[in-house]
Chain A
Amino acid sequence: MRPAGWIAACGVLAVVAEATAQPDPDLLAPLPPGTEVDTTDDAVLAPAPGTLAEAEYRGSPQHFALEVRFGPYRPEVDQEFSGGQTPYADTFGDALLLLSLFQFDWEYLRIPGGTLAVGVSAGFLQAVGTAYTPDGRPSGEDTVLNIVPAYWTAGYRFDLLAERWSVPLVPFLKAGIATYWWWVLNAAGTAQWGWTPGWFLSPGLALRLDVFEEGAARSFDSSLGVNHSYLTIELLYASVDGFGRGRSMILSDLTFTAGVAFEF
Chain B
Amino acid sequence: MITSKDVEHVAKLARLALTEDEKRLYTDQLSRILEYFAQLNAVNTDGVEPMSHALPVVNVLREDVVETPPGHKTLLATAPDAETVTSSAPDGTEESKSFFRVPKIGD
Does B associate with A? no
